[in-house]
Amino acid sequence: MSDATSFFGRRGCRFAYNLVGSGPPVVFIQGCGVAGSGWLPQIEALASRYRCLFFDNRGMGASQPVGTPLTVEQMANDTLALMDQVGFDSAHVVGHSLGGLVAQHLALTARKRVLSLALLCTFSRGRDATQLSWGMFWLGLRTYVGTRGMRRRAFAEMVLPPQLYAERDAWAERLAPLFGHDLADQPPVVMKQLVAMNAYDATSHLGQLAGLPTLVVGAKYDRIARIEVVRQLAANLPGSRLVEFEDAAHGVTIQKAPEINKLLEELWPRADGVANQQGNRGDEPRG
């Protein structure tokens, strides 16, 4: 299928989405302030073997306007509506940061439609990411004040490990087309996304996802989804696989794209095997 952007109207928002590739269906859900194009390091490598749906979240990029109060629950419903739009009865679901919360809610409320979960640099309780240390507060402030170059470099520090700080300008240029905006400019919807994130907590419900093939990825230098929070998420997801990157930060899906893509391709066939076994036994998924 063509990779041209399509549009779909739902609850006051005209969603921009892309459906590319062929094979088993996969849905990619982005986090705060990042357009669906943030998944291109995955899509470009995987679309030859998987049918990939990726999109701008409500109020982000070309999906405008916000249209309705923004919540994690609303974003999960939006994802289901987009799955319906493209004909996905079920799919492997991949979420990064805020997108990981959306993926968790999707699995908890529509378990039969989720073949597997990949939760990348995320958490089960949004306020674990929004309750900032003084260092993160200062870094976040620097993304809003100063020259454009200073703001770009501050944002790059937020998503890169320290060993790459010397290359912040080059990385800021590389990240801009993936994020869908110049790193010096924060999209207006970001504050609404942070409020939605802060209000959501799936922790007490994660046991319901036992038996669902799940990958959890964390990064040692992640200032947003801190490694101890990611470890706790994995501990609360029975049977999940935890993978930690020692030399990456919140932007691991871009910095370590080949490694992330390999992990996804290890997860999905295993999940398809589980789904086939359940179908042969006539079992209902647990949820």
In a domain, 243, yes or no: yes
pLDDT of residue 271: 77
Q: Which CATH number do you get for residue 22?
A: 3.40.50.1820
The predicted model gives 252-275 an average pLDDT of 90
The total of structural domains in the chain comes to: 1
CA distance 115 to 272: 7
pLDDT of residue 90: 97
pLDDT of residue 3: 67
In a domain, 249, yes or no: yes
Q: Over 80: is that where the pLDDT of 93 sits?
A: yes
Rounded alpha-carbon distances, angstroms, from residue 79 to 73, 182, 268, 275, 281? 10, 26, 19, 21, 29
The per-residue pLDDT for range 71-82, each reduced to its tens digit, is: 999 999 999 999
Residue 202, domain extent:
6-129+188-281
Q: Over 60: is that where the pLDDT of 279 sits?
A: no
pLDDT over 70 percentage in the chain: 93
Chain mean pLDDT for the chain = 92
Confidence of residue 263 (pLDDT cuts 50, 70, 90): very high
In a domain, 153, yes or no: no
Q: Over 80: is that where the pLDDT of 249 sits?
A: yes
In a domain, 179, yes or no: no
In a domain, 270, yes or no: yes
In a domain, 209, yes or no: yes
CA distance 233 to 227: 10
In a domain, 68, yes or no: yes
In a domain, 166, yes or no: no
